[in-house]
Every structure is written in structure tokens, then in C-alpha cells.
A and B are shown apart, each in its own frame.
Chain A
Amino acid sequence: MEIDREDGRTPNQLRPLACSRNILHRPHGSASWSQGDTKVLAAVYGPKAGTKKNENAEKACFEVIWKPKTGQIGKVEKEYEMIMKRTIQSICVLTVNPNTTTSVIIQVVHDDGSLLPCAINAACAALVDAGIPMKHLAVAICCCLADNGYLVLDPNKLEEKKMTAFAYLVFPNTTLSVLPEGSSVAEGEPVEHGIITSVTHGVMSVDDYFLCVENGRAATASLSAFFRKNFQQSQKDSSKAG
């Protein structure tokens, strides 16, 4: 039995994506990412001298500042900051600019469900816009479990409230390669099958979790394609202008 979603999407269908980069004048990189009505703005200020006290000075350091739409900064925002910081640290090349701090500032413009994945995608786009060296992109998606056991991707706010459990998953992007075995292999499994970050809320069984991971990974293919298309298009525009 197919589950009917209010806005007419199928369970595995994502909301319309929109990404625009280089929208702000002063930050070194900026991007706005929207999935349906959820919109997040990200800005990156490139490597600045010095790291914070507890950080390793042999490597580059990242700091994330999360600004909610209204209200004071609380524990939820601090948690998001920490998750994003660890995610960004794992995708960026830390040895290129040792003893520097790169700031990523996230501003929530509108929250209509699936906020953290949207923010991670926005941060990735902003990091690309700033030219920060990265190993690969982080593609984030939210999967949730309805009470009748059905899996739904990219929920909006109303759907999120009705769900029993949901998981935010971040995967590396799918690689496009000329060689048939192009994707780098680590211990027999392709790298893109790894999970960078996983945050779950609510109770779900182990099988359901693996099902979420499968569906999420399948969806990252279309997200990666969107990223790629978006970046290539703006490259063509800037090469025409230059």
C-alpha cells in the first residue's frame, strides 16, 4: 500500500531543490540552498590566522556558527554546530592550511522540515564557492519512518511531526569516472557507500535503519547530480564573463 503524502510526492521523491552561490559580497564563499520551503543561507570566511585554544595547531580548524531564525541560541543549535563541524572536518583536507581557522556561518531563513541536511548541503556549496580544498562533497538527506512501517524521504514539517523516528544521513557524493572501476575502493567496498554522519531521533529497528541507509544512498545519486550540474553551470557562466 502506497503511503499518500500531502503534497503528492511519492515516498522516495525529494522536494524541488534550488541552490545559488556567490550571493553575498563580503564572505569568501556563500550559498543559499532550499529544499521545498526549507531555506538555509551559508557563508564561509576563508582561512584566518590562528586556531582556538583546544584545537590541534598542526591542522586546519573549522568553526560553525548556527543562527536560528528567531530566538536565543540554545542546546539544539549547539548540537547542530557540533555535528556540522565534525562533518565538515571529515570532508575537508586539513593538512593544506595548518594553524588556520575557517568559519562557516549558517542562517536559517525558513524551516519546513529536514533542516540539518539542508544546512549541510548549503555549507558544502558555500565551501566550494570559497575554494576550500575538499576530498569530496557531503550530501545529506533525511529519512523517516511512519508508524505503519513505511519509509519516507525528505519530509516537511507536518510530516516530521507525525513520524515515529527519523534519521539524518550524510554520504559522500557519487563519483563520475571514466574508468569502470573509477571510485576508490577501501577494504573491498566503494568509498561512496560509507556514511559520514548519522543522527537519529526516535526508536527504529536495526532492519529499518539499514533500509533508511539504502534509500538514502539511492537518493544521494540524484542530489550529487544536482550539485554537479549546478557547479558546472556556474563555471560556464563565469568563463563566459571572464
Chain B
Amino acid sequence: MDGRLSNKWRVTVNESKFVESALQSELRVDGRGLYDYRKLTIKFGKEYGSSEVQLGQTHVMAFVTAQLVQPYKDRPNEGSFSIFTEFSPMADPSFEPVHPGESAVELGRIIDRALRESRVVDTESLCVFAGKLVWNLVDAANIAALAALLTFRRPDCTVGGENSQEVIIHPPEEREPLPLIIHHLPIAFTFGFFNKGSILVMDPTVVEEAVMSGRMTVTVNANGDICAIQKPGEEGVNQSVILHCLRLASSRAAATTKIIREAVEAYNRERSSQKVIRHHTLAKSEVLGPIEVV
């Protein structure tokens, strides 16, 4: 279907010249400073482990699912963790609905590498849907994945049965599902380079992304550790510029971690207050099952 390619959005020459000349005088098209981040909002869905993150006009949704499977033979005590990324055609009409393009795979890999450090004990599979808009998906997707993981609860299971070899999975109504053990929160920041690396921009928008000559994604956590760096070719930049990026990223990491944690706290509080009022009061109906007051 070549119809899809002909409908792809392309930056016009006027737009790219405008963006570049604005950057020369340290102005960005949407009025932000060079190192300003867009507004971040985190929302959670009805189920455990679903989140939607909005970074400016970029929307990313993430869902976490878990399955019990056989562990790898050389690592019997560890579970595994995999990430699937999908770009929905909702975000851009040129995305193929089924086949993940290169950028989708790259995005998945960046998040995967960043999150592997937070080791989790049981098996998980994490689906990240990047949808709605293509303005700097990496940062938003990373935050969505983290938010989803933080709020995910896996069902409690005990070893029992006849030979004490069977594992019984308790449905959430019987036993409270357990949260995942997350060691630290790696946050990704994307930088764009313009004009042979002399101009540096943080959190580029889709127009800036189309115009910029190089990019770099740095993943840091609030402790100041660098978890991952990705610089996929393109323009070469000076070492001092890279160090500058790292410093900027680590100074922002604490603030973003705080936003994520606060959102998760608020969500957990709301969730536990909802549990107390689980059943509607009807004159005739019976209340099913015990209500646990936490």
C-alpha cells in the first residue's frame, strides 16, 4: 500500500529553517527554555498495572501482565521480564498496524535495557503501547512502563496441593495481590543536537525531532547512577557536550522520580479507600464474601 507512505507527514523547509534560526537565539518553537521538560501527567487505569502517561501531547499507555512459567535452567531463582512495544496507527497514519517498525523496536530495546536492572522475582511480560502522538516517545514510554510496574500487583500463590509440588494461584478476591519489588527507578531523558552539536535541546518535540541532526537518550536514576546511554550514530558530538547532558539528566531525575512516586501514592491511597466500599447496599441482595478493611 504505497498510499500509506504518500500520506506521511514531512517537515517543510520553512518549518525546519524556522526551528533552526529560533534555536540560534536560544528560543524554542513552543516557548520552552532549551532545557525545559514538558508537562508530565500520570494516570492509572482500573486494573492493577495499567498506566497512561502524557508528556505534552504525547500519550503512552502501558500494561503489565504476569504469567507463571518454568524458569531458565541456569537461573532457577529468577524470573524474566520482557517488553513489547507497539506503535498504534492512531499516532501516525504511516505506522503499519501489525509490523513493528524500526523505531518501535529501538524504543522497546532502550526501555528494556534500562529496566533490566530493577530485578523482579517472578516472570513478567510488559506490554507498552506507544500511541497517540510521536513527540518524543522514549521518555514518555519509559515513565509509563515504570508507573505501570509500580502499581502492578501479582496474584499471591502458595505451594500446596497433594505432593506439595503444586502451586495454587489465589484469585484477587481471596487474597490481596502482591506488589512487585522494584529496586530503583531509571528515568530516560532524550536530548537533541543541532548545528553540529553546538546547540543542545532537552525533550524535543516532533518538529524538532525531524529537524535535529543527532540525538541521545540517557537513562539515570535518582541516586545519580547512569543506567543506560543510547546514541544511535548520526552526528558526532564533543565529549564535553555528552557530560553536560549527563549532568542535566541527573539533576532532573530526582524531580521526575518524585512526580512518579507521588502519583503512585495517590493512586494507592485512592485504591485502598475504594476497597472499603466495595459492595452497593441493596435491601435484598446479599453481600458476597468478606470485605477486608486495610
Residues of A within 8 A of B (CB): 4, 6-8, 24-27, 30, 37, 41, 43, 45, 48-50, 52, 65, 67, 69-71, 73, 101, 103, 105, 107, 109-110, 112
Asked if A24 contacts B7 (CB within 8 A), the reply is no
Interface with A: B29-37, B129-137, B189-197, B245-253, which one? Answer: B129-137
Q: Which of B3, B92, B284 contacts A26 (CB 8 A)?
A: B92
Give the top 10 A-B pairs by smallest Cβ distance, nearest first.
A50-B3, A43-B90, A105-B90, A25-B57, A8-B280, A65-B97, A45-B93, A48-B7, A70-B127, A105-B89
Q: Which of A4, A8, A45, A73 contacts B98 (CB 8 A)?
A: A73
Residues of A within 8 A of B92 (CB): 26
Asked if A52 contacts B131 (CB within 8 A), the reply is no
Asked if B129 contacts A67 (CB within 8 A), the reply is yes
B216 to chain A, nearest CB (A): 26
- Considering the complex, give the chain B residue whose CB is closest to the CB of A41: B90
Asked if B61 contacts A109 (CB within 8 A), the reply is yes
Residues of B within 8 A of A (CB): 1-3, 6-7, 45-47, 50, 57, 59, 61, 63, 65, 86, 88-93, 97-98, 127, 129, 131-133, 280, 282, 284-285
Binding site secondary structure of chain B: loop
A26 to chain B, nearest CB (A): 6
A sample of 28 inter-chain contacts (CB < 8 A) reads A8-B282, A24-B59, A24-B132, A25-B132, A25-B133, A26-B133, A30-B90, A37-B46, A45-B93, A48-B7, A49-B7, A65-B89, A65-B97, A67-B90, A67-B129, A70-B127, A101-B3, A105-B88, A105-B89, A105-B90, A105-B97, A107-B90, A107-B129, A109-B45, A109-B61, A110-B45, A110-B47, A112-B46
Asked if A26 contacts B91 (CB within 8 A), the reply is yes
Residues of A within 8 A of B98 (CB): 73
State whether A49 and B90 are in contact (beta carbons under 8 Å apart), knowing that A4-B284, A69-B63, A110-B46 are contacts in the complex. Answer: no
Pick the most buried of B90, B131, B280: most chain A CB atoms within 10 A of its CB.
B90
Known: A26-B132, A45-B7, A109-B45. 19 other contacts (CB 8 A): A4-B285, A8-B282, A8-B285, A24-B132, A25-B133, A26-B92, A49-B6, A49-B7, A50-B1, A50-B3, A67-B86, A67-B90, A70-B65, A73-B97, A101-B3, A103-B89, A103-B93, A107-B90, A110-B47
How many angstroms from the CA of A107 to the CA of B45 in the assembled complex? 14
Number of A-B contacts (CB under 8 A): 71
Residues of A within 8 A of B89 (CB): 45, 65, 103, 105
How many angstroms from the CA of A65 to the CA of B99 in the assembled complex? 13
How many angstroms from the CA of A25 to the CA of B54 in the assembled complex? 12
A73 to chain B, nearest CB (A): 6
Q: Which of B6, B45, B133 contacts A24 (CB 8 A)?
A: B133
Asked if A24 contacts B61 (CB within 8 A), the reply is no
Residues of A within 8 A of B45 (CB): 109-110
Residues of B within 8 A of A26 (CB): 91-92, 132-133
How many angstroms from the CA of A158 to the CA of B49 in the assembled complex? 21
